[in-house]
Amino acid sequence: NADVYKLYSVLKGLNPNELSKISKIILYDDKNTTFAWKLLKQFTDIETEHINVERVTYAKSLVDIKLTAGVCKEFYENHVDSFILFSSDSDFWGLISSLPTANFLVMIESSKCGENIKETLRENRIYYCSVDDFSTFNISQIYNAALKDALQKELDKFNITGNWSELNSRLFVDQLYKKCRINATENERQNFIDKYIKTIKFKINEEGNFCLSL
């Protein structure tokens, strides 16, 4: 239930010495989350492992249990003793309390985290902080990468099928922002239209078919 853009903002806000203390980032992902998670490794030098968790049934995500099992594996098999847990889910208190000799720092999003879990963390001397405190850093780089990737997927789909999802440019861009889970002003959306939508190239390929490109 984490926000990829806020995680990127946290990483941008750390100095080189602080970043050097993070040996690895492990992402546990579900098909219903934004594909922007796949872009994160392009913006950090920290080793990043992306684990895509398949669903056994459509209505039930296994991300939480896979993350729990992954932390336990790192602790017992690889002897990792310190973890930064980027989640606001109170269910992970079960994991934290089951590894009393491990060190945890929990990074929460204020809007997603209730007071009860914060009180529990305080009572048990588990450090936590709000990722919102880091979100003043410029994250336009990963925003643009996610939006351009989403746009490229639409162009690729058109080049294969000949189908275009939305003919109205504003509605089309609204769809892109929704897919990327990015909130933006009307001015920001118009800037994207001017810079990327209006400059889409219309060509004829070697087979004589129409195709689009950035």
Q: What's this model's pTM, rounded to 2 decimal places? A: 0.72
Mapping DSSP to helix (H, G, I), strand (E, B) and coil, where does residue 26 land? strand
Residue 77 neighbours by CB under 8 Å, 6+ apart: none
The domain defined by 4-134 folds into Rossmann fold (3.40.50)
Residues 159, 170: contact at Cβ < 8 Å?
no
Per-residue model confidence as pLDDT tens digits over 74-111: 999 999 999 999 988 888 899 999 999 999 999 988 87
Name the helix (H) or strand (E) containing 10.
Answer: helix 4-13
Shortest CA distance to 143 belongs to which of 4, 31, 2? Answer: 4
Per-residue model confidence as pLDDT tens digits over 17-41: 999 999 999 988 877 666 677 788 8
Q: What residue segments make up the domains of the chain, in order of their start? A: 4-134, 140-213
Q: How far apart are CA 193 and CA 197, in angstroms?
A: 5
